[in-house]
Amino acid sequence: MHTLSPDRVVVALADIVGSRACLASGPDTAAFTTDYRGIHHGKAAAVVLPANTRELSRVMAWCHAHDVPVVPQGGNTSLMGGAVPDASGQAVVVNLRRMNQVLEVDATNDTMTVQAGVTLSAARSAAEAAGRLFPLRIGSEGSCQIGGNLSTNAGGTAVLRYGNMRDLVLGLEAVLPDGRIYSGLRGLRKDNTGYDLKQLFVGSEGTLGIITAAVLKLMPLPRSSAVAFVAVASPAAAVALLGEAKKMAGQSLTAFELVSRPALELVLAYLGDASSPLEDSHEWMVLIELTSGVDAEALDQTLMQVLEAGLEAGLVLDAAVAASGADAQAFWRIREEISDAQTRTGGSIKCDVSVPLSRIAPFIEHATAAVLALQPRARMVIYGHMGDGNVHFNPLRPADCTAPAFLSACYEPVSHAVDSLAHAAGGSISAEHGIGVAKRDDLTLYKSPVELALMWQIKRALDPKNLLNPAKLLLDAPSVDAFDS
């Protein structure tokens, strides 16, 4: 703990970044100290907005010398409270929004070099302007930033085809906790020169260094797409249909998203101006998307073949095929707005688990039974990226129960039941949202002592003073003895 007054911190950091880029705690900093869902509230000694890597390096060196904790922040869209400070008022928030330049698009090398504060949608647009695709696709693309996407290893709806952020990065630049700069902005697909240091920073939630720029992979821009909203007999039928789709559509299968009936009902009520693509009500649906660089007709035919095979096998109960780009957008809007519909409704227990596909159907069945045993009237908002085994299993408060009443009675037992069933099925308690503060205590239940000790050894090697995003992801450092045991 440092004993500097906030004024002293502000004066010292304003000297580095300029007074307009160093905000003292007050009404102007509220947006930086509260997460966007309004769940995690903190306080900062100052909020700093560096203009470039050199400035950030000097900020970090000063904070390191004075034992001031630093919380890195991109678009502040974390669902886990990973990007806001604690309530102590000791930490400095470093927001990367001013470092928002696309530095280079190299269409020959199929790479793009961007600063960390570039929003995902700006990165996608820059790629598209060069006739390329940057394939990460998540609902918050207008505000989330590439640095945050990397530090949380973001996933989203196209992982099935293109992988997550870890798979989409070739090079990185990051500022270390003591101010040194790791310069690895290389656009190489082959580079076997020792440890893959860039991957240390990916998914480490800003606890090892602050990512300032990255070289990202670009893909061919699809020319055609075919989209269907499909009622399936059960989660097991969805898994079987996914198998058929992979067989028949191969590489063109881009998304395979699961939607439960309560999830559809919730989002339609929230949107108000949307309707179900299907005539009847069904318990389970999937949104299937194929994309390709070749002609649309062939893709439409493949989608129809998948659906026919599904119908014949009794997997598919009904299907709506998008007849236009507008239809496809309307189907996607329903899927992508589920998250906001939950936020607005309040009282949602967000479990973001992944399970091997072979076990996902029994997992959903057992976890549903476990939740309903705790609260029989919970609305089972279950949806997500079934194609890659990631289920957002988010029980919602009964309509006549307040959010605080539901959360205080059910949050702990529900999360525990769902996470332990996922773990028992060989899964993960955080597929794509990370750990932050929300899952930090649970992590210690599901990682082995060796894994936790290794994580702490890496943390100590890079951040021996534990100043960078402290108490996120990892809470209490084990005693030094524990590393030897």
Q: 319 vs 334, which CB is nearer to ligand MLT?
A: 334
State the first-to-last Cα distance of the chain, in angstroms, to the nearest integer: 29
Q: Which string of b and e fits 455-474 if b means at least 16 CB within 10 Å?
A: bbeebeebbeebbbbbbbbb
Closest separation in Å from C-beta 288 to ligand MLT: 16
Q: d(Cα 80, Cα 437) in Å, to the nearest integer?
A: 6
Q: d(Cα 410, Cα 350) in Å, to the nearest integer?
A: 12
Closest separation in Å from C-beta 255 to ligand MLT: 11
Q: 139 vs 362, which CB is nearer to ligand MLT?
A: 139
Q: 172 vs 258, which CB is nearer to ligand MLT?
A: 258
Q: d(Cα 442, Cα 375) in Å, to the nearest integer?
A: 22
Strand runs (DSSP E) across 76-144, as ranges? 92-95, 102-106, 111-115, 132-133
Q: 93 vs 396, which CB is nearer to ligand MLT?
A: 396
- Interface ranges with ligand MLT (CB under 6 A): 79, 139, 338-339, 350, 384, 392
Closest separation in Å from C-beta 135 to ligand MLT: 15
Closest separation in Å from C-beta 407 to ligand MLT: 16
Residue partners of 10: CB distance under 8 A and separation at least 6: 22, 24, 45, 46
SS3 314: coil
Residue nearest to ligand MLT (CB): 339
Q: 239 vs 338, which CB is nearer to ligand MLT?
A: 338
Closest separation in Å from C-beta 40 to ligand MLT: 15
Closest separation in Å from C-beta 129 to ligand MLT: 27
Q: 137 vs 472, which CB is nearer to ligand MLT?
A: 137
Contact 323, 296 (CB under 8 A): no
Q: d(Cα 98, Cα 169) in Å, to the nearest integer?
A: 21
**Element at 147 (helix H, strand E):** helix 146-151
Q: 105 vs 338, which CB is nearer to ligand MLT?
A: 338
Closest separation in Å from C-beta 427 to ligand MLT: 16
Q: Give the type of residue at 172.
A: L
